[in-house]
């Protein structure tokens, strides 16, 4: 209903207003006069009270008009911020809608949250950036029971930051966005499997995407993602639908909410209108159609990680060497080192320490779904805001893993066709950003084959994006901009190895630093 406050604070209703969805309140107030200064304290003007509260999830889903074949957007990252109550109700309804297309950052795990939808046979197609921990989901994909879009296609899937931006674009009334993520890869060129046949052959592959050059750089055009219904989870809400999130459980929940034609929200705590200060509201109730009390709040912790008196598990061997060398990338003299978790936390702290009375909190996880703490002065935000920081060049250094790297700085890190399905996660956005990109990985695969090659055989995460490669054997600098005719330069080597050892394990030629090769373990 549309409420207009007249010049004397009276309320006037139009018969047309009674036919509208109670989403928007338009308020006009009289102009301030010179002899009528604003009151120093906040005051609430007269309004007609309304509530968006529904008695239960069944009622809310019925009111949403959700039907078979619709697209739904679901908030959550890993198991954090997952609308458990709404998903459990949707999965358990034998006569409920089927053949759904589901858009979500991750696919969760077996027998929980989104996992229950897959097991109930409700989903035809999944739009997601990362699916790695759901083994049933992976099996369904490779046996042809499920379509999975790992490329941006029409109204479908993209990398983690891009899918959040596409949801946000829909909520902003924008038809499309342009992103550097995935330019020059199968992400834009097409060819990644969307569906397999039962015999393992590819049934549907992604077609090419439209690209455009801006200031000499290639960008991929991504259409806005507009689901029929969005399911979101908040920590706190009021009866008008204003939402407050907590920690990293915010993730894509606000982005899903602004995009949905109809939005169902569940909250752990619900209070009367006016009990949440306007300045504390994270998402306005204008985006929420129906609100329920969250009855299912298991809030599983996917990866419990703790320290004890500041001690962490010792990492030895080749991986330990990689970790120690990567730590040296944080140079002395920088003003301040602050860690960002791409799922929505700036000021990432260590694992919780029970000896300091720090308890594991499912609402505070990192991008690996591990329990973490936040340092003093930290801030939390949505997924779209997180990747705006990254793409906008506000993050200086990116360190991530890989499956293959090429001599020209190409990176493959998310997919082995027919064998392994993890998803891009946020990697495409991370490597396409202006930050320095460092890849950490073992020098050879488990079968002994080289992972540093002339040309990547796996689908690319980014083309010409890697600045440095740190392995258990050595350190390479990548001339990704061909400032020195391209290629790799060996700058450091592990103790006990020779340059010939590195050549034997590397499937591309490389130069050796003119000033000599240092030992990785040297300070």
What confidence tier does 523 reach under pLDDT thresholds 50, 70, 90?
low
Q: What value does the mean pLDDT take over residues 464-469?
A: 92
| Residue of 222, 342, 370, 492 marked catalytic | 342
Q: What is the C-alpha end-to-end distance of the chain, expressed in Å?
A: 68
Name the burial class of residue 6, with classes exposed (0-12), middle (13-18) and buried (19+) by CB atoms within 10 angstroms of its CB: exposed
Distance of alpha carbon 166 from alpha carbon 175, whole angstroms? 9
Distance of alpha carbon 265 from alpha carbon 236, whole angstroms? 10
User: Which pLDDT tens digit goes with each residue over 55-93?
Assistant: 999 999 999 999 999 999 999 998 999 999 999 999 999
Provide the 8-state DSSP code for 200. S
Residue 458 pLDDT greater than 70, yes or no: yes
Distance of alpha carbon 332 from alpha carbon 400, whole angstroms? 21
CATH superfamily assigned to domain 317-344+381-519: Glutaconate Coenzyme A-transferase (3.40.1080.10)
Q: For the domain made up of 57-293, give the CATH fold.
A: Glutaconate Coenzyme A-transferase (3.40.1080)
Distance of alpha carbon 472 from alpha carbon 483, whole angstroms? 27
Q: What value does the mean pLDDT take over residues 174-196?
A: 83
Question: What is the pLDDT at residue 152?
Answer: 35
Range from 125-139, 400-414, 417-431 that averages highest in pLDDT: 400-414
Question: What is the pLDDT at residue 31?
Answer: 43
Distance of alpha carbon 378 from alpha carbon 341, whole angstroms? 11
Question: What is the pLDDT at residue 336?
Answer: 72
What confidence tier does 33 reach under pLDDT thresholds 50, 70, 90?
very low
Question: What is the pLDDT at residue 5?
Answer: 32
Q: What value does the mean pLDDT take over residues 200-205?
A: 86
CATH topology match: 57-293 vs 317-344+381-519: yes
Residue 342 annotated to the active site: yes
DSSP structure string for 230-258: EEEEEEEEETT--EE--GGG-TTHHHHHH
User: Which pLDDT tens digit goes with each residue over 285-295?
Assistant: 999 999 999 99
Distance of alpha carbon 409 from alpha carbon 463, whole angstroms? 7
User: Which pLDDT tens digit goes with each residue over 351-372?
Assistant: 999 999 999 999 999 988 999 9
What confidence tier does 150 reach under pLDDT thresholds 50, 70, 90?
low
Residue 210 pLDDT greater than 50, yes or no: yes
Q: Where are the domains of the chain?
A: 57-293, 317-344+381-519
Alpha-carbon torsion angle 178, 179, 184, 190, nearest 10: -70
Distance of alpha carbon 476 from alpha carbon 511, whole angstroms? 9
pTM over 0.85: no
DSSP structure string for 485-507: SS-EEEEEE-TT--HHHHHHT-B
């Amino acid at each position: 209903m549309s409420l207009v406050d007249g010049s004397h604070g009276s309320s006037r209703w139009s018969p047309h207003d009674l036919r509208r969805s109670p989403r928007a309140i338009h308020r006009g107030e009289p102009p301030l006069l010179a002899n009528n200064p604003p009151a120093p304290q906040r005051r609430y003007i007269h309004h007609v009270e309304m509530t968006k509260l529904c008695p239960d999830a069944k009622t809310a889903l019925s009111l949403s008009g959700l039907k078979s074949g619709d697209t739904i957007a679901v908030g959550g990252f890993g198991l954090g911020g997952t609308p458990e109550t709404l998903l459990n109700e949707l999965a358990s309804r034998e006569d409920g809608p089927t053949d759904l297309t589901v858009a979500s950052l991750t696919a969760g795990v077996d027998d929980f949250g989104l996992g229950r939808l897959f097991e109930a046979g409700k989903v035809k197609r999944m739009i997601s950036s990362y699916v790695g921990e759901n083994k049933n989901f992976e099996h369904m994909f490779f046996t042809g029971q499920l379509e999975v879009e790992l490329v941006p296609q029409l109204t479908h899937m993209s990398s983690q930051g891009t899918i959040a931006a596409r949801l946000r674009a829909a909520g902003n009334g924008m038809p499309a966005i342009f992103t550097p993520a995935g330019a020059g890869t199968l992400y834009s060129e097409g060819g990644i499997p969307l569906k397999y046949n039962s015999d393992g052959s590819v049934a549907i592959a992604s077609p090419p995407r439209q690209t455009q050059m801006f200031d000499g750089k290639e960008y991929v055009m991504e259409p806005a993602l507009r689901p029929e219904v969005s399911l979101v989870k908040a920590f706190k809400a009021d009866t008008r639908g204003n939402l407050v999130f907590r920690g990293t459980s915010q993730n894509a929940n606000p982005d899903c909410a602004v995009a949905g034609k109809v939005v169902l929200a569940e909250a752990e705590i619900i209070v009367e209108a006016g009990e949440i200060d306007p300045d504390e509201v994270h998402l306005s109730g204008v985006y929420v159609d129906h609100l329920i009390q969250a009855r299912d709040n298991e809030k599983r912790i996917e990866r419990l990680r703790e320290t004890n008196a500041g001690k962490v598990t010792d990492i030895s061997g080749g991986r330990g060497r990689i970790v120690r060398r990567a730590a040296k990338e944080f140079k002395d003299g920088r003003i301040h080192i602050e860690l960002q978790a791409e799922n929505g936390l700036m000021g990432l702290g260590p694992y919780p320490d029970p000896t300091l009375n720090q308890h594991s909190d499912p609402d505070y996880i990192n991008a690996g779904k591990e329990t973490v703490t936040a340092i003093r002065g930290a801030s939390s935000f949505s997924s779209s805001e997180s990747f705006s920081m990254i793409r906008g060049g506000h993050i200086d250094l990116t360190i991530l893993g890989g499956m293959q790297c090429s001599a020209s700085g190409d990176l493959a890190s998310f997919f082995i066709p027919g064998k392994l399905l993890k998803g891009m996660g946020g990697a495409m956005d991370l490597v396409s950003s202006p930050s320095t990109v460092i890849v950490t990985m073992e020098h050879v695969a488990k079968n002994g084959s080289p992972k540093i090659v002339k040309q990547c055989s796996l689908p690319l995460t980014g083309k010409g994006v890697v600045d440095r490669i740190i392995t258990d054997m050595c350190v390479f600098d990548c001339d990704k901009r061909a400032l020195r005719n391209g290629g790799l330069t060996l700058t450091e080597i592990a103790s006990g190895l020779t340059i010939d050892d590195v050549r034997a394990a590397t499937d591309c030629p490389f130069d050796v630093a003119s000033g000599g090769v240092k030992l990785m373990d040297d300070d």
